Structure 1
């Protein structure tokens, strides 16, 4: 049986399968975070080495987004996603056999390129399968599934590391098996997108943003920067902060840092699905102002409850900020350029995700984790304030004019009044 004759599911079932695959892909990206403290214990790798591993993933993922991020618009969703899943499985197997930082770097590079190849294609596939009638559902899934995947990956890995055997192997082997199942699900899913020519030209490193989406992209940009910058803080430094500053060495707690932000983020996205994107974005930006401030105060006081309260509030900012921004931009994206638009979204998101975390990790040995987190959260708060300003201005500009203001005065009435 060839791939062309492989039996397919209905688009409705395919929508579920693609959403599960997207969530699993993102979960695999979060899984190493609770394991980083184990590597520090086994190999003596400090925060700087951990940050290098984290940075390589983000950097290579960006390269993939800039080059092959829109390739599925030209070759089809299924072949691009299948090849990427093979790469992620290979990276999981590399991680499971890692005995030094170099192997982790190679594995993270492979994982980053594979994830960057697939993430835009999967998001566009959701929109394809949903069709115009269910486009809001696809936009919701694009915004809610990645945070849910981060939560599942971070918390699941923390539980396996704490209670399972082979803490540096089991998580990756489980994920490799699940990713192979996902590859079969992809084979079952119909690829309904129209392919456009220009695959070779699409490999030129450039962010492809259609004119119809540029104004919305600028307005919602702080939502991507602030929410994913916060995600980088939690995944890159969160487990090290709770272990090194708060003294909580249980690996489940390290996973809870990621899960609390991402889980509340996913729930917030679901609860705000009926609100207009600009209103959701405003809620998210408020969360990105209040949450990090509470988190910083809790950390300064050495309060576990205060720290996690800030993390939960930050989760509202993460979920609503990303969901509102993504829905606002996707509503303007032409059907044949969806993968390119999503790649542009993830380029800026992963820049915010990776770059501050790299700088923070390199400064931590010199300034201390507390001061680094203070500076990091300050940047997130600034993004939240900028987002509030931009989205408020946009809402005022697009608000309907009241009927009384639209009414044209009658000349005879004006003459009588005069």
Structure 2
């Protein structure tokens, strides 16, 4: 299969993983009403996905650097297919949580392997575009999955079967497609050793990687609120329990992130990171105003602002690092990036879900928003300092040759 076909095709299959990850957002809220489990259990059901994903990233995040991209992508698709079947058949929240864990493991296997393969399959003129495409696939898939599923909840009698049966078919087609793609990396020794949990960030990149941690934490906590907690806020605080409004609210931020990851791809990576993190900060403040005043329009406006910032900052940080990675290091570095991202995506939602019954939905979100601000502000400062350092280095003349 030619790279011209494999490049967009792999991005589409990768996006399907995140469509499937966003799909449970409106369904979990519906299941909570049907099965009568707590908001804390709702948070666990949402975040079980992130736990499985982190386990796969830490244990097998760099496996494709050793055995090749295609075998790992195929294994990820097989596990995702099994998870989709689990969702179709789920009779209880326990079964759903188990399927979410398996889905997370599958997505963890897919994340570093697909991200690396998309970059490697990209034609030369699209190499810089590839990082933004991978980031856009993640955010866009999450948002569209929530929106389409919300519409299915609103307009069909069995949204769970409709959505996950369709996703079962999509994953089966994905298996066939990836099976026809060519391998993009040579095999390297050390496959078994790579299964020892670790984050593979080369020494030369650790400073940039560390500087990006607060950017990722603030950025990924923002969509996690909309995908994990906003249905409960809408139902308990806004008295809105329709599937479409829940799906649309969850959709706005990730979709804005997907669009901005492409838009800001034209800007310098550092500048995109600074502007993006600043927009995330503004967005969460606007959402906080909307929640405090029970003003849904402000929540939606804040979702777009913060989502735009998330896409710009995440794509910018990826572009700051990717050009400096050797091919055999690529999956390990992507594993490190997404480990930080999914810790921020899952752990705060679990904590917030346990706090809602104690503090109430609005005070819990106020603390959640304060945590985003606490990471976003130093993230902007750190990136501004590094931008000034980059500028100074660029202006310093090179030492004459001896």
CA 202–95 in structure 1, closer or farther in 2 if over 3 Å, else same: same
What is the TM-score with the length of structure 2 in the denominator? 0.96
Task: Select the residue among 12, 27, 32 that pairs with 1:20.
Answer: 12
Per-residue CA distance 1:41-73 (angstroms, 9 max, x = gap): 111012111112123211121111001111111
How far off is 1:402 after superposition? 8.8
Per-residue CA distance 1:51-110 (angstroms, 9 max, x = gap): 121232111211110011111111111111111111111111111111211101111111
Structure 2 equivalent of residue 125 of structure 1: 117
1:253 maps to 2:240: no
2:104 match: secondary structure: helix
On the 8 A contact 1:32/1:157 being kept in 2, the answer is yes
CA 115–401 in structure 1, closer or farther in 2 if over 3 Å, else same: closer
Structure 2 equivalent of residue 218 of structure 1: 210
Task: Select the residue among 198, 217, 222 that pairs with 2:190.
Answer: 198
On the 8 A contact 2:218/2:375 being kept in 1, the answer is yes
Structure 2 equivalent of residue 312 of structure 1: 304
Task: Select the residue among 269, 283, 287 that pairs with 1:291.
Answer: 283
Per-residue CA distance 1:191-226 (angstroms, 9 max, x = gap): 121221110000001111112221211122222111
Structure 2 equivalent of residue 345 of structure 1: 337
How far off is 1:159 after superposition? 1.1
On the 8 A contact 1:161/1:171 being kept in 2, the answer is no
Task: Select the residue among 140, 153, 157 that pairs with 2:145.
Answer: 153
How far off is 1:168 after superposition? 2.6
Unpaired stretches in structure 2, ≥5 consecutive residues: none
Task: Select the residue among 55, 72, 80 that pairs with 1:63.
Answer: 55
**Map of 1:11-410 to 2, 5 A cutoff?**
11-130=3-122, 133-400=125-392
How far off is 1:265 after superposition? 0.7
C-alpha distance in 2, partners of 1:103/1:157? 19
C-alpha distance in 2, partners of 1:192/1:167? 38
Structure 2 equivalent of residue 415 of structure 1: none
Structure 2 equivalent of residue 410 of structure 1: none
C-alpha distance in 2, partners of 1:175/1:39? 19
C-alpha distance in 1, partners of 2:334/2:9? 19
What is the TM-score with the length of structure 1 in the denominator? 0.92
C-alpha distance in 2, partners of 1:182/1:161? 25
CA 12–45 in structure 1, closer or farther in 2 if over 3 Å, else same: same
How far off is 1:131 after superposition? 5.7
On the 8 A contact 2:3/2:123 being kept in 1, the answer is no
C-alpha distance in 2, partners of 1:12/1:327? 21
C-alpha distance in 2, partners of 1:27/1:312? 19
2:267 match: secondary structure: coil
CA 402–17 in structure 1, closer or farther in 2 if over 3 Å, else same: closer
Q: Greater CA deviation, 388-397 or 331-340?
A: 331-340
CA 351–401 in structure 1, closer or farther in 2 if over 3 Å, else same: closer
How far off is 1:165 after superposition? 3.0
Q: Greater CA deviation, 381-390 or 119-128?
A: 381-390
Structure 2 equivalent of residue 411 of structure 1: none
C-alpha distance in 2, partners of 1:230/1:256? 16
On the 8 A contact 1:212/1:333 being kept in 2, the answer is no
CA 355–17 in structure 1, closer or farther in 2 if over 3 Å, else same: same
Runs ≥4 residues deviating over 2 A: 131-134, 400-403
How far off is 1:355 after superposition? 0.6
Unpaired stretches in structure 1, ≥5 consecutive residues: 1-8, 408-418
On the 8 A contact 2:4/2:123 being kept in 1, the answer is no
C-alpha distance in 2, partners of 1:239/1:256? 10
Q: Greater CA deviation, 68-77 or 129-138?
A: 129-138
